[in-house]
Chains A and B, each alone.
Chain A
Amino acid sequence: MERTLSARSNPGFLRPFILLAAVALMATVAAPSVRADDASTDPPAEADGNRIFAVHVLPLMKQKCFACHGNTPDDLKGELDLTSREALLEGGESGEPTVVPGKPDAGLLLSAIRWEDYEMPPKENDRLTDEQIEWFEKWVAAGAPWPNAETIARLQQQAWASDTSGGMVVRTSGGLSDEWTHRRYDPTDVWAFLPVPSQEEIAVPEGADHPIDAFLNARIAEAGLEPAGTADPVTLIRRATYDLIGLPPTPEETDAFVAAWQQDADRAWLELIDRLLASPHYGERWAQHWLDVVRYADTSGFSNDWERSNAWRYRDYVIRSFNADKPYNRFIMEQVAGDELDPDDPEMLVAVGFLRMGPWEHTPMNPNKESRQQYLDDVVNGIGQTFLSTAMRCAKCHDHKFDPLPTRDYYRLYAALATTQLAERPAPFLPEENRNGFDEGRQHVERLLAFAKSEQDKLYAKREAAAKKWYADHGRPDDYVPYEVRLKQRNVEKPPRFVGLSTEEQGTLKVREQDVRIWTRRLERFQPLAQSVYYGGDLYQKSIRLRMPDPNKGWEMKKAQAMPETAIYAGGSVFAPAEPVTPGVLSGLGIPVSTEGASAGDPYALPQTMEGRRLALARWIADEKNPLTTRSIANRIWHYHFGRGIAANPNNFGATGKKPTHPELLDWLANEFVARGWSIKQMHRLIMTSQAYRRSTAHPDPDALAEKDPTQDLLAAFRPRRLTAEELRDSMLFLTGELQSEMGGLPARPEMNMEVALAPRMIQFSLAPAWQPSRTPARRNRRSIYAYRVRGLPDPLMNVFNQPGSDESCEMRDAPSVTPQVFTLMNSDVITKRSVAMAVRLEEEAESPAEQIARGYRLITGKPLDASLQQTLVTHYEKMTGYHREHTPERPVYPTKVTRSLVEEFSGDPFEYEEMLDMYEDYVPDVHASDVSPETRALADVCLLLLNSNAFMYVY
């Protein structure tokens, strides 16, 4: 950990591997032949050594070593200076030679960079590659020459001018150093930045009808494996149904499909896919994937976690877009620049809600510029990850270490967004937007607001009465002025700020004032507003109230017309603007901007006007030649179907992301996607009609599979997956018959674990309002995508099943098994209610307990129940009936208010206040265990177990 050289605990462990790797690499390089283990017999000419040093070794040393061993002479780690040949030969505090010219096997430098005795550079991220180590070895073998500065410069110029020195050059707008600008890339590291070859240039292997199978089978055969057979139709309909609509098939649907399959399997399969794609639930399922990537939430995060009152309109826009199979290029344009595309179309103002999705707040606590930078950094990174599968954040402080992404490009993109300003914009509701529940919702909020106001006003009245009395007592009754005026008075004797209020009342007042802000904001949910953007200068509005500049306020309009300045921020600091930059796109792709306004000499420049920057950027992203865009979406679609992308980091196609396992297939899909009109539904059909998608998860030769494809990249068998949190909750509600099919509209508030729902949660000045579930089952038992997402209050049910937080973009869901999942799924109120509701349904649909249990098993797992397990379950049911006759559940009592306790920050005194829980006043509960008979509760136990079973939890 220390920057000083420290001895490794297990020296030599890596050595054989690295040497072997180095030798293997060298065999393939046509450079002067040097064998690391026997360099002295054939040293490269000194001239070669000079060149290797100037072009490879010195830049690496500057990048990797000098920070600790060079830049600051009084602070050399391990007393080792690496900035001259003399210093190098002298060595550091260990006394051992750093380099022995001509002997790459000796000297501490080489063993350190190989991570043998020492481990240098000490960080995993900085560690040299085998190829880089090899350059050092060659240089030392050549006698470790260190030419003078002129020679170094000349050799570097020569190398940059020629294209023969290995690796490929990627032309960009230029890095901060010439070395970065001219550096060489391994083509496999910049695969995603290279153009997608045309479909004609991609050779589809022989041997399969479906091109996808052709690509996959070729690799499977190469590995000496057989693909698994086709899964059975019961498995397949469950797989496809969960995949496309996120819900299980009904037994009736399964029976119909199995019958059709037996007639004509291919036709049945196609019809199934078409039926599912036509279902409105398709949009609900696939929009969820998109919302994972863009980090949807209904609140802003950070200290206030303010409402984003109308964010739900963006969520519904995404669902509508998927259901309508909106061409993806259009989908990009609308989300990045809808407001510029058509400011008169409310839908477009809603669509740019994409640019409002990240966690962000600006309060009086934040310096203006920092908040603004925080927003723009977030959006630059968000656009990079979402559409371009590129980790932009890495280039915020320096040229990208691995990808052809100069920090200049980062700030050119930043500049493209510098005129993007946030506002809750007026946007009339569309006919297709669901406005159910508006009246009841508004009344609920108005009531809470009125309560908060009246409590606040009581305290105001008390304070002002005391103030008047104070003036009277001081013989100045006429000097009384209202609180707001008193606040600003200085050097005048006046009543204390909270005159007449006890510390408890002071604390309560702050709470009520904050409540007034909270409920006022939530009222905006019912107004035709959109969480949107516009173009203009920086107003630095606080996030509690973001509005378009007011034409009646001259100073605001003036600010809105002031062009923001844009520059490279040195080291990422907004307070250190360096070289000015103008708007532009990523130059390393070689895709010019096609819009007018781009300057002739700079094909990657975007307009510098206030308006039109984003529109031009959006066009560039949605350009069919943009290789990142088309590969990104093709890979994401693949990822959701197969559980892993062809490139396994859908948000990062850079050198540090996982490389594509089937690059030709990915390119073929990207082309096909464009050729099919950027249609996502067409891609589903294409992918799902492959044999690969229909394969069984069981492989005929698992041992061979484990040996030859241990990471299961080849898709010789289908990969099983666990249900996501949303699928789990939605399925349970669906199976019990409680799920509402209504689409869109105001956020639903499902029942949440009561302890969490009522637990106090700190926000600025106060506690956040309690989570109150929606009053009726119709409003709360809706699909999880409609659930109110509060950044500071994850729903424990969803959270424990790995619903991602909404701060970071989620490229793929995790699904580890952890014990809290067991507590939730065996013990929680939510699961208990579902098990009872399930039992009630089964009793309605089947006569005998045995039939009810068989029906339950079929519904939940999709499979018929075999006789022996049925016997076990029936026996258990009977035993449990006896148990439940002796154990009666208590009827739940719903609280209509909760007493809050808080420490007053000024005084440190605790104080209490009451919060109203109005939803529970005439609450319509779900069916509860206390409502049903012991027999039903026994059946509910069986249902509980089925809902906990692996057969339910996994999709095969």
Chain B
Amino acid sequence: MTQSIPRRNFLYGLGASLGSLAFSDLLSAEQKPSQGPLAPKQPHHPAKAKAVIMLFMEGGPSHIDTFDPKPTLDDLHLKEFVNKDDKISGMTNGGRFYVRSPFKFRQAGNAGIPMNEHFVHMSDPDVADELCVYRGCQAESVNHPTALYHMNTGNKFGGDPAIGSWVTYGLGSENQNLPGYVVMTELAAPQGGSGNWSNGFLPAYYQGTRLRAEGSPILDLKPPAWKTREHQRANLDVLQEINRQHLAEHPQHDDLLARMENYELAFRMQMQVPEIIDLKNEPQHVQEMYGLDDKETAPFGRQCLMARRLVEQGVRFVQIFSGGWDSHDFIERAHQKRIYSVDKPIAALIKDLKARGMLDETLVVWTGEFGRTPDNNVRGGDAAIGRDHNADAMNMFFAGGGVKRGTIVGATDEIGAKAVEVVHPIRDVHVSLLHLLGLDDNKLTYFHGGRFKQLSQFGGEIIPEIMA
């Protein structure tokens, strides 16, 4: 059942003669980082990046209003848009009209990457010139949960392991006292919920652990307030005593030790997790850099700073969800606010990683589940300025670990309706991310349901243009 836990029957023989030696000492002496399902593993080929921080803008940020300006739309603004497509859904029928971007753009950095003017901090050349903006990705679904599942797990209908689970399955984690794959959301979980960071058919060790925005960072991390740590330790020692007697009765049962060991690991995590996520340990100027002093930027800033601290501690994959990008109407106000809330934190994250020499080995990914349309439908008879979901065009950016710096890859058409250059489906983005981490999607497989399953489902191609 637990394939990677080695047989350790010899411990039973020792147990009886060790007398008063605490069980925890025995285990920690015995525990080696090379053991266990989350032990670090060799990649398939030399890795460019060791860790990933994935910033997920849930709702579908508009490429046309972030990093892919379309001046052609200025001329078409409010003219009728005609769609002839048999894949008609409520998203694409009804009266429609073109919508120009309500935003001004600036050319950022030496690379001149166009950015919505509200990306004030991101347009700093120190940040902008680290970015690889990719405009060629195409999703498949215009429905939030299916598109979210697709981007996060490679399978539109959910149920499969998330990319973070695949990566921790492939590489293990550098820190055995922390989860290898950490997820931070806003207070509300995104549509599709925990299916977005599920281990799917991979063993449960690889499930994303949600660090909660409020309350206990990990569910039930601590006992009730009236039970102290000393109390917990005393309880644990007696539990291991009970278990040791049981082990003596069942020396052939391999799972028992692994389970006993988990109690010790949990006890250590109880201590360590709160320390790592306590941002008070960060100097004032760092907290300010991430925007912790502004209530608009503080929530996402805290998560970005936490992400850096976690990666520093050896966590393999950190994913942060930022919601509210689904701007069907009034996109000017809505996108402006969303951009404001993430601009400073993301810029700080990239600069901070760079300053600490971590950016080279950390891959930062910014993406949504799809892009938005160059047009809008007539909602309730009003011509409101916003955009619908668009699976044919979107933009994302990468920074750090092994990607080209200060560049734009791929392009969408004149009006941003469809990707036309360096066009790749989501699976190719997945394959490329794995490649940067030293993993080969075709080899990162798990036999389940009668076939070797892989993140890309049936294989994909890397996108060479984004590689440094």
Residue of B nearest to A811 (CB): B449
| B contact face: mostly helix, strand, loop, or mixed | loop
A1 touches B195 (CB 8 A): no
Give the complex CA separation of A656 and B452 in angstroms.
Answer: 9
B420 CB–A CB distance under 8 Å: no
A310-343 with Cβ < 8 A to chain B: none
| Contact assessment for A876 and B266 in the assembled complex, using a CB-CB cutoff below 8 Å | no
Q: In the complex, what distance in Å separates the CA atom of A135 from the CA atom of B110?
A: 58
Question: Among the listed B146, B159, B194, B255, which residue makes an inter-chain contact with A722, where contact means beta carbons less than 8 Å apart?
Answer: B255
A869 contacts the other chain (CB 8 A): yes
A567: Cβ under 8 A from any B Cβ:
no
Q: How far is the CB of A70 from chain B (nearest CB, A)?
A: 17
Q: Is B188 a contact of A818 with CB atoms below 8 Å?
A: no
Residues on the B chain within 8 Å of A796, using CB? 219
- The yes or no answer to B386 lying at the interface (CB within 8 A) is yes
Q: Give A403's nearest chain B residue, CB to CB.
A: B450
Contact check, B381 vs A827: say whether CB atoms are below 8 A apart.
no
Contact B143 A827 (CB under 8 A): no
Stretch in B119-127, B237-245, B359-367, B394-402 with 4+ CB within 8 Å of A: B237-245
In the assembly, what is the distance between CA of A370 and CA of B146, in Å? Answer: 12
Contact of B262 among A2, A793, A821, A954 (CB under 8 A): A821
Known: A124-B442, A760-B188. A824 touches B219 (CB 8 A): yes
**In the assembled complex, A230 has its CB within 8 A of some CB on chain B:** no
Proximity string of chain A (357-395) to chain B, C-beta cutoff 8 Å, 1 when within and 0 when not = 001000111111110001000000000000000010010
Give, as a whole number of angstroms, the nearest-CB distance from A838 to chain B. Answer: 15
Closest Cβ of chain A: how far from B389's Cβ, in Å? Answer: 8
Question: Is B378 in contact with chain A by the CB < 8 A criterion?
Answer: yes
CB distance from A477 to the nearest CB of B (A): 20
Considering only residues 338-365 of chain B, those with a C-beta below 8 Å from chain A are 338
Interface residues on A, range: 35 or more
Q: Is the Cβ of B451 less than 8 Å from the Cβ of A125?
A: yes
- CB <8 Å contact, A944 and B235: yes
Q: A367-B88, A823-B218 are in contact. Are A817 and B255 (CB under 8 A)?
A: yes
> Could you say which of A2, A717, A908 has the most chain B C-beta atoms within 10 Å of its C-beta?
A908
Given contacts A760-B188, A824-B220, A905-B324, are A656 and B451 in contact (CB under 8 A)? yes
Neighbour of A359 across the interface among B157, B231, B241, CB < 8 A: B157
Q: Are A761 and B189 in contact (CB under 8 A)?
A: yes
Closest residue on chain B to residue A828 by CB atoms:
B220
By the criterion CB–CB under 8 Å, are B259 and A950 in contact?
yes
- What chain A residues lie within 8 Å of B59 (beta carbons)? 905
CB neighbors of B among A606-645 (8 A): none
Let me know if A889 is at the binding interface, CB within 8 A. yes
A814 close to B (CB within 8 Å): yes
Given A906-B334, A908-B337, verify A760-B189 contact (CB < 8 Å): yes
B443 CB–A CB distance under 8 Å: yes
Q: Please report which residues of chain A, range 704-745, place their CB below 8 angstroms from some CB of chain B when the two chains form the complex.
A: 706, 717, 720, 722
Most buried by B among A805, A880, A905: A905
Question: Which residues from chain B contact A490 at a C-beta distance below 8 Å?
Answer: 95, 378, 381
Contact B203 A816 (CB under 8 A): yes
Bitwise, B218-260 to A at CB < 8 A (1) or not (0) is 1111111111100110110011011101110011110110111
Are A805 and B328 CB-contacts (below 8 A) given A391-B449, A816-B2, A949-B246? Answer: no
Contacting residue for B238 out of A822, A872, A889, A907, CB 8 A: A872
B231 engages A756 (CB within 8 Å): no
Q: Which of B244-284 contact A (CB under 8 A)?
A: 245-247, 250-253, 255-256, 258-260, 262-263, 265-266, 269-270
Q: Which of B62-70, B128-136, B208-216, B407-415 contacts A (4 or more CB under 8 A)?
A: B208-216
The answer to the question of B198 belonging to the interface, with a C-beta cut-off of 8 Å to chain A, is yes
Considering only residues 300-315 of chain A, those with a C-beta below 8 Å from chain B are: 301-303
Query: In the bound complex, how far is the Cα of B238 from the Cα of A310, in angstroms?
Result: 47
Q: Does A9 contact B (CB under 8 A)?
A: yes
Most chain B CB atoms below 10 A, which of A123, A370, A699, A876: A123
Residues from chain B with a CB closer than 8 A to the CB of A872 are: 238, 241
Residues of A within 8 A of B338 (CB): 908
B190 within 8 A of A: yes
Closest chain-B Cβ to A858's Cβ sits at a distance in Å of: 14
CB-CB under 8 A from A487, the residues of chain B are 380-381
How far apart sit A36 and B238, CA to CA, in the bound complex (Å)? 63
Q: Does B368 contact A (CB under 8 A)?
A: no
**Is A794 part of the contact surface with B, judged by Cβ < 8 Å?**
yes
Report the bound CA distance from A124 to B456 in whole Å.
Answer: 13
Which of chain A's residues have a CB closer than 8 A to the CB of B256? Answer: 950, 954
Min C-beta distance of B175 to chain A, whole Å: 13
Instruction: Compute how far the CA of A764 lies from the CA of B247 in the bound complex, rounded to whole angstroms.
Output: 51
CA distance A85 to B18 in the complex (A): 72
Instruction: Answer yes or no: A879 CB below 8 A from chain B CBs.
Output: yes
CB contact list, B409-468 vs A, under 8 A: 431, 434-435, 440-443, 445, 449-452, 454, 459, 461-462
Q: Kindly state the interface size class of chain B when it binds its partner.
A: 35 or more
What is the bound-complex CA distance between A819 and B219, given in angstroms?
11
B86 located at the interface, meaning its Cβ lies under 8 Å from any Cβ of chain A in the complex = yes
In angstroms, Cα B238 to Cα A904, docked, is 52
Do the beta carbons of B87 and A951 come within 8 Å of each other? no
Interface: B81 (CB within 8 A): no
- Within the complex, what minimum Cβ distance (angstroms) separates B136 from chain A? 17
- Asked whether A948 is an interface residue with its Cβ less than 8 Å from the other chain, the reply is yes
User: Could you say which of A760, A827, A946 contacts B221, with CB atoms under 8 Å apart?
Assistant: A827
Is B204 in contact with A816, judged by CB distance below 8 angstroms? Answer: yes
Distance, CA A792 to CA B235, complexed state (A): 35
Is there a chain A Cβ closer than 8 Å to B106's Cβ? no
- Residues of A within 8 Å of B242, CB to CB, are 869, 873, 945-946, 949, 951
- With a cutoff of 8 Å between Cβ atoms, the chain A residues found around residue B286 in the complex are none
Task: Give the contacting residue for A122; candidates B9, B188, B442; CB below 8 A.
Answer: B442
Whether A903 and B323, one on each chain, are in contact in the complex, defined by CB atoms closer than 8 angstroms, is yes
Q: Is the CB of B226 within 8 A of A888?
A: yes
Smallest CB–CB gap between A375 and chain B, Å?
11
Is the beta-carbon distance between A755 and B143 smaller than 8 angstroms? no
Chain A residues closer than 8 Å to B381, beta-carbon distance? 486-490, 494, 497
Q: Are the C-beta atoms of A905 and B326 separated by less than 8 Å?
A: yes
List chain A residues, Cβ under 8 A from B107: none
- A112 interfacial contact with B, CB 8 Å: no
**A582, CB-defined interface residue at 8 Å:** no
In the complex, what residues of A have CB within 8 A of residue B158's CB?
A: 301, 359, 807
* Residue B205 CB within 8 A of the other chain: yes
Q: CB distance B203 to A762 under 8 Å?
A: no
On whether A1 and B435 interact (CB within 8 A), knowing A123-B459, A826-B266, A879-B234, the answer reads yes
Question: A949 to B243, Cβ gap below 8 A?
Answer: yes
B324: A residues at CB distance < 8 A:
903, 905, 908
CA of A277 to CA of B14 in the docked complex: distance in angstroms?
44
Say yes or no for A217: interface residue by CB 8 A criterion: no
Say yes or no: A759-B234 contact (C-beta < 8 A), given A720-B250, A906-B329.
no
Distance to closest chain A CB from B58 (angstroms): 8
Please provide the 4 A-B residue pairs with the shortest distance between their CB atoms, ordered closest to farther. Answer: A364-B90, A908-B334, A656-B450, A760-B188
Can you pick out 25 interface pairs between chain A and chain B where the beta carbons lie within 8 Å of each other?
Answer: A1-B44, A122-B459, A124-B445, A301-B158, A367-B89, A374-B157, A575-B87, A755-B215, A792-B193, A805-B159, A819-B265, A820-B219, A822-B263, A823-B218, A869-B245, A873-B242, A883-B234, A904-B334, A905-B59, A906-B334, A908-B335, A909-B337, A948-B263, A951-B243, A956-B253
Please name 6 further chain A to chain B contacts, defined as beta carbons within 8 Å, in addition to the given A365-B143, A907-B330, A954-B253, sorted by A numbering. Answer: A367-B87, A762-B189, A869-B245, A872-B241, A905-B334, A951-B242
